[in-house]
Homo-oligomer: A and B are copies of this chain.
Amino acid sequence: MVLRDVRAGVRNEQAIAMVIESLRASLGEKLQTGQAFREQHAHTTTYLTAQLPDAVVFAENADDVKAVVRACAMHGVPVIPFGTGSSLEGQVNAPSGGISIDFSRMDKVLRVSPEDLDVTVEPGVTREALNVYLRDTGLFFPIDPGANASIGGMTATRASGTNAVRYGTMKDNVLALTVVTADGEEVVTGTRARKSSAGYDLTRLFVGSEGTLGVITSITLRLQGIPEKISGGVCSFPTVKAACDAVIMTIQMGIPVARIELLDEMQIRACNAYSGLSYAERPTLFLEFHGTEETVAMQSEQFAMIAEECGSDGFRYTVDAQERAKLWKARHDAYWASRALRPELSALSTDVCVPISRLAECVAETHEDILANNFLAPIVGHAGDGNFHVLVLFNDKDAADIERVEAFVERLNRRALSFGGTCTGEHGIGQGKMSFLQEEAGPALALMRSIKQALDPKNIFNPGKILRSID
């Protein structure tokens, strides 16, 4: 179901050629058609087959984006927005060819208001660059999906990551957008007011639409004050269930934990090997608390009691910045640590999200599934949200292995749906999860299709993602 969906679409060679000719005339060197550029802008970081765009436009401003959209709309040619290419479900592939819009040159912070705790950025600003820019203001942007993704890409994918349990996802942190719509004009979807009841929530409609409804040209974000004090720590548990019980109690008690990450035995083993650490090879939680000296101490103590009650070997925490950095570096390197288990294999990273009361059961069943099939497949999860990832290593030259992985992913997604969950907490649908979205949404898929048809009648915006063009 997964790899099968990465099928080629219908290419309109003549139309594509006309668009390229027309854009070359108007945009000059900003348009590139060299093979290397095209390869860099197809899907490079995932297990999916690369499907190259026909040209890449390095947009420098909204007018460049409008020019691309207008030319593509006139000829019915696909437009594929490209941030940093760190998406995981084939979001930047070009199954029917078309024009990739690269946002790396639209990387300016347009304005910041420390009084209002908000900022407006161009789509190409990365989250790390934004936080470097903000440092002197005492503010930071908390959403951290791991990769140094672009804010445009994070918005389009409704990204979240380790801090979401406390600060929410992109859905909660985008105040307003500007978007180039199908008629080639730019619209503003909201204001800088922190809340509004003024009509349909267009902002939330574009957040998570993966470039299929329009092209985002600027993003206004909420910011947070940099915590006065941060403490972090680790503790291991005899079982995944015990670890998840600790998570549930923490959330129920309203302890405002900033990060609470679950790593299974195999993931810990991989991290130990990769990062030269010596954590106990048991289900483990990595935690972080944000606040004042008093509040982080209080929260850490409260959690330590919960952890003890759930059979942990004891929660050790530290406010030392270097020690914390080492801990979170290991967590952020989990992907590479897992891949290093067998560097010659390919990796499929998939995510699901379930109500936290079902997390333990869902992880445990998945764990058994992995053992039963002798997969190398570490599990790591944003446990406070009920969201977890499995990184399955497999031989992409071996059809039987591919089939086994696809069947596993199918079981995993159906398991999540059967537990009242969703087929993706943060990676998005892209090409890889269209079948599961169909199962999850059921009749609601027709509504999504109506909206797509209404806002993109010629199906030029990132076709073949979220919704199959040919269904």
Contact = CB atoms under 8 A, between A and B. Distances in A.
Given A204-B171, A425-B197, A117 B251 contact: yes
**Which of A164, A202, A416 neighbours the largest number of chain B CB atoms within 10 Å of its CB?**
A202
A195 B454 contact: no
Interface stretch (A280-288, A370-378, A393-401, A442-450): A442-450
A425 B199 CA distance: 11
Given A447-B181, A450-B455, A454-B450, A440 B227 contact: no
Contacts of A195: 160, 164, 169, 171, 353, 385, 387, 422, 425-426
Contacts of A417: 191
A225 interface: yes
Interface stretch (A5-13, A55-63, A108-116, A339-347): A108-116
Nearest to A253: B225
Interface stretch (A69-77, A182-190, A264-272): A182-190
Given A193-B386, A421-B191, A429 B113 contact: no
B353 A194 contact: yes
B225 A192 contact: no
Interface string A155-183: 00111100010001101100000000100
Contacts of A115: 248, 252, 355-357
A196 B253 contact: no
A188 B442 contact: yes
Nearest to A113: B357
Interface string A403-426: 000000000000011001111111
Interface in A103-148: 113-118
Contacts of A426: 195, 197
A263 interface: no
Contacts of A427: 197
A254 B224 contact: yes
Contacts of A204: 171, 201, 204-205
A189 B295 contact: no
B425 A185 contact: no
List the number of copies, as a whole number: 2
A48 interface: no
Contacts of A191: 417, 420-422, 440
A466 B423 CA distance: 34
A190 B423 CA distance: 11
A198 B357 contact: no
A187 B447 contact: yes
A18 interface: no
Contacts of A168: 172
A426 B278 CA distance: 53
Contacts of A254: 224-225, 227
Contacts of A192: 355, 420-421
Interface of A: 113-118, 157-160, 164, 168-169, 171-172, 181, 185-202, 204-205, 207-209, 213, 224-225, 227, 248, 251-254, 256, 292, 294-295, 298, 353-357, 385-387, 416-417, 420-429, 433, 436-437, 440-448, 450-455, 466-467
21 contacts: A115-B356, A171-B195, A191-B417, A191-B420, A193-B386, A193-B425, A194-B353, A195-B387, A197-B208, A197-B429, A198-B429, A198-B440, A199-B445, A199-B448, A200-B213, A201-B205, A205-B205, A224-B254, A294-B298, A447-B455, A451-B455
